[in-house]
Structure 1
Amino acid sequence: MSSLAANIRAAFPALQQSGDQVPFIYFDGPGGTQMAKQAIEGMLAYITGGMANLHGAFPTSVGTDNLLLEGRKAVADLLHCAPEEVAFGQNMTTLAFSIARSLGSFISSGDEVVVTEMDHRANVDPWVTLAKDKGAQVRFIELNPDTYTLNLDRLDELITEKTKLVAVGMSSNVTGTVTDVRRVIARAKEVNAIVVVDAVHAVPHLPIDFQELGCDILFCSAYKFFGPHIGIAVIAASLFEKLQVYKLAPAPQQIPDKLETGTQNHEAIAGLIGAITFIEQLGEGHTRRERLVSGMQRIEEHEQQLTDRLESFLRQMPGLKLYRAAEGTNKTPTFAFTLSGIKARDVTSWFAEHYHMCIADGHFYASTMADKLGVNPMGGWIRIGLAPYNTMEEVVLFEKGLKEFMATH
């Protein structure tokens, strides 16, 4: 095990073996990573140190006010945006539906909304619902079923003067394909369309620069990058100020508070800060932003070593179909495959029982892509997602397990 892997694993209590208990091997990162101890400690500190709601004169309330401010600043450094552009919510899906409802005044009958065939439905259905409510048409950027990438060659035809909103995922939570979202954003901006980027799967693996991207809305979720279950929306201030959100009359009118209906999950925000601290501590630099970018680059380098080994193995395995773009296409360390004639759940159940491996199966809410690629009759894909706490030893053990499974089934 490399020194970096050992250092990273030490930060995750769930990975520590207790007594005679056989430890789990977590290959389910795309569905949610394990939580770093910095996140756990942050949550415990808030819970045990005295909790309170906002805007009071007493110390615990002032502390909670400061906690939210620090949470926004931490996210701003992670994603390179302004703190006042950061809003918290239950999860991406809930935030997306709330924002979609707030965008109602921007969409009219006869307008067009563009989504993709690759995305998780959380970045499809909120905008499709909005379009249906307003009488707008929905157009899809198509998936190339041979390359597992989006067909961006027809952007000029798909995104037109009628287009008011474009939603695209930065990286597929199934195939790992990293889409050239800058190309999509550039075309959308030529026609003054609002651009929504789903970065939920990308943030755990890639440095993100909201300002450089130039999109209007970006989503991510802390439980995908070593923190608790909380959703994050970054909304460009120029758009955020114009949103007519559904809120209680006395609630704040200013951004970002106006989107955060009701009391937020304060302890989760404390955990989010801890998760960002974990990434920061892996890096170097004079500012938190520099350390976070450096930390993400170290994560990328470690994950790439495991990716190269695992991808080579999967591509050579007889009877296995790997749904992964070719060399030259940027991808996250996420692998989806099927085994000929075998249900996906039979595979993942066997690995859980015999190798204590957490491997997921299903359509993973990328249901349009699942339909198009015809995997649903087999129960969807088998998906292995690598996280920075995974090791080469775990990858080698999976290879052994898969050979054993194939030899006995």
Structure 2
Amino acid sequence: MIDVESVRAQFPSLRAGTAHFDGPGGSQTPEPVARAIHDALVLPIANRGSVTPAERNAEQLVQGARAAMADLLGADPRGIVFGRSMTQLTFDLARTLAASWGPGDEIVVSRLDHDANVRPWVIHAERAGATVRFADFEPDSGELDVEQVRAVVGERTRLVALTGASNLIGTRPDLPAIAEVVHAAGALFYVDGVHLTAHAGVDVAALRADFYACSPYKFFGPHCGVVAADPALLETLHPDKLLPSSDAVPERFELGTLPYELLAGTTAAVDFIAGLTPMAGGRRERVLAAMESAEAHERSLSEYVERALAGLDGVTVHSRARRRTPTLLMTFAGRSAQDAYRHLADVGVNAPAGTFYAYEPARRLGLEAGGLRVGISAYNDRSDVDRLLTGLGDFLGGSPR
């Protein structure tokens, strides 16, 4: 297990005393990440090159971040693409891929996904004259299984876009099994790993994702986006770009000068994760061991919360899948989730309410206004959870039995 007290001590924001369950919207930032961003900003810096120290600093920051993300995801550093956000990168890739789509082609998205992995594909499929099909999930269980994808994948399917874990209810579909269906149809598999990457060790090759997108600010890093892909696949794609800009992979997908300071912070975030548990070995091995320990810690706290919630009258928990992240969406009989959000905020507990851009799953669950989302992170401890439960008990007019 991780040493939670030691981990918490590295997050300056936690000193304010607030219990943060808002990690699914963006984690808190540890001091080493903030320091790395600062240090990059005060370095001599220039456009990337090899002549001056400033140019070499920029080059090292970029290559260091590609190597770090490759270690985090089990990917090839030559296929790591950086952008402003996962949403921006997904729109860019949808536009690029859609150039080869046409009438009769089919694109599959899901009712479980954040809109960043739905709308870019829908918009560009419609512009290309392609048909959009939706893979559904079972609202009572929260499950999206391989048969639900198989039902909408056919010989004209060009791409399937699916979440690695729902940011609303935590459901983790069986990605390797679904990838087998996708690839048997000759289609590409685009995985939104934004929520999954914060809570589990990731191996892009084992998941069989052709594209894997994530956001460092969900796992202790700065605000930017990343897509990992096979460099050979990226070589086949030709995005819009400026004429004099590099046509090399992955640079051809990175429009304009990269934010060197954010890449420094991304590297520091991966190094921070690798150091969550003390052990020897390469960074990839340390990352996987650390994520296993963090996952066990988060699961323990999540199970404690769920047991306590079962003793509160009027609470419905919509996170029910067998395999899921420590992310709980709840609603309250006769009470507003927004009111619960405000009540908790007043007692120093951050657990926001809403749909969190998960438009399709919220509608499928009949929760147009969403619910209260509790997301557990590696820096949460038992005292945080007890404050959350006390606050919910007070909000509902009673205490957990």
Residue equivalent to 1:323: 318
**Structure 1 residues 286-308: Cα deviation after superposition (integer angstroms, max 9, x where no partner):** 21110110111111111111011
Contact kept? 2:168, 2:361, Cα under 8 Å: no
1:316 aligned counterpart, secondary structure: coil
Q: After alignment, is 46-55 or 336-345 more displaced? A: 46-55
Contact kept? 2:2, 2:276, Cα under 8 Å: no
Letter in 2 for 1:13: P
Contact kept? 2:25, 2:218, Cα under 8 Å: yes
Task: Provide the rounded CA distance (Å) in 1 between the counterparts of 2:280 and 2:143.
Answer: 35
**Structure 1 residues 315-336: Cα deviation after superposition (integer angstroms, max 9, x where no partner):** 332101100125xx11111010
Residue equivalent to 2:360: 368
Matches within 5 A, 1:380-399: 380-399=370-389
Residue equivalent to 1:141: 135
Aligned: 1:198 with 2:185? no
2:393 to 384, 398, 403: 403
1:153 aligned counterpart, secondary structure: helix
Distance change >3 Å, CA 139–CA 232, structure 1 → 2: same
Task: Provide the rounded CA distance (Å) in 2 between the counterparts of 1:175 and 1:37.
Answer: 30
1:202 aligned counterpart, secondary structure: helix
Task: Provide the rounded CA distance (Å) in 2 between the counterparts of 1:99 and 1:68.
Answer: 21
**Structure 1 residues 41-85: Cα deviation after superposition (integer angstroms, max 9, x where no partner):** 110111122332223621011111111001000100110111110
The CA RMSD over aligned residues, in Å, is 1.5
Report how far residue 282 of structure 1 moved: 1.8
Residue equivalent to 1:246: 240
Letter in 1 for 2:349: M
**Structure 1 residues 103-134: Cα deviation after superposition (integer angstroms, max 9, x where no partner):** 12332211100010010000011111121011
Contact kept? 1:285, 1:294, Cα under 8 Å: no
Q: When the two structures are aligned, how many residues end up with a matched partner?
A: 398
Contact kept? 2:145, 2:173, Cα under 8 Å: no
Letter in 1 for 2:310: R
Contact kept? 2:343, 2:391, Cα under 8 Å: no
Residue equivalent to 1:20: none
1:138 aligned counterpart, secondary structure: strand
Distance change >3 Å, CA 157–CA 302, structure 1 → 2: closer
Task: Provide the rounded CA distance (Å) in 1 between the counterparts of 2:110 and 2:244.
Answer: 38
Q: Percent identity?
A: 35
1:70 aligned counterpart, secondary structure: helix
Letter in 1 for 2:364: K
Structure 2 regions of 5+ residues with no counterpart? Answer: none
1:114 to 108, 111, 120: 108
Residue equivalent to 2:8: 9
Matches within 5 A, 1:346-361: 346-353=339-346, 355-361=347-353
Distance change >3 Å, CA 15–CA 155, structure 1 → 2: closer
Task: Provide the rounded CA distance (Å) in 2 between the counterparts of 1:286 and 1:74.
Answer: 15
Contact kept? 1:89, 1:232, Cα under 8 Å: yes
Letter in 2 for 1:295: A
Report how far residue 151 of structure 1 moved: 4.5
Aligned: 1:341 with 2:340? no
Task: Provide the rounded CA distance (Å) in 1 between the counterparts of 2:64 and 2:161.
Answer: 29
Structure 1 regions of 5+ residues with no counterpart? Answer: 18-22
1:388 aligned counterpart, secondary structure: coil
Task: Provide the rounded CA distance (Å) in 2 between the counterparts of 1:361 and 1:3.
Answer: 29
Contact kept? 1:38, 1:277, Cα under 8 Å: no
Matches within 5 A, 1:69-148: 69-148=63-142
**Structure 1 residues 325-375: Cα deviation after superposition (integer angstroms, max 9, x where no partner):** 25xx1111101000112222111111111x111111111111111112121
Task: Provide the rounded CA distance (Å) in 2 between the counterparts of 1:204 and 1:5.
Answer: 16
Task: Provide the rounded CA distance (Å) in 1 between the counterparts of 2:364 and 2:276.
Answer: 40
Task: Provide the rounded CA distance (Å) in 1 between the counterparts of 2:112 and 2:54.
Answer: 45
Task: Provide the rounded CA distance (Å) in 2 between the counterparts of 1:68 and 1:156.
Answer: 39
**Structure 1 residues 249-281: Cα deviation after superposition (integer angstroms, max 9, x where no partner):** 111111000000001111110000111111111
**Structure 1 residues 232-255: Cα deviation after superposition (integer angstroms, max 9, x where no partner):** 011222220011101001111110
**Structure 1 residues 24-51: Cα deviation after superposition (integer angstroms, max 9, x where no partner):** 1111000000011121111011112233
Task: Provide the rounded CA distance (Å) in 2 between the counterparts of 1:10 and 1:146.
Answer: 40
Task: Provide the rounded CA distance (Å) in 1 between the counterparts of 2:365 and 2:186.
Answer: 33
Report how far residue 312 of structure 1 moved: 1.2
Task: Provide the rounded CA distance (Å) in 1 between the counterparts of 2:343 and 2:286.
Answer: 41
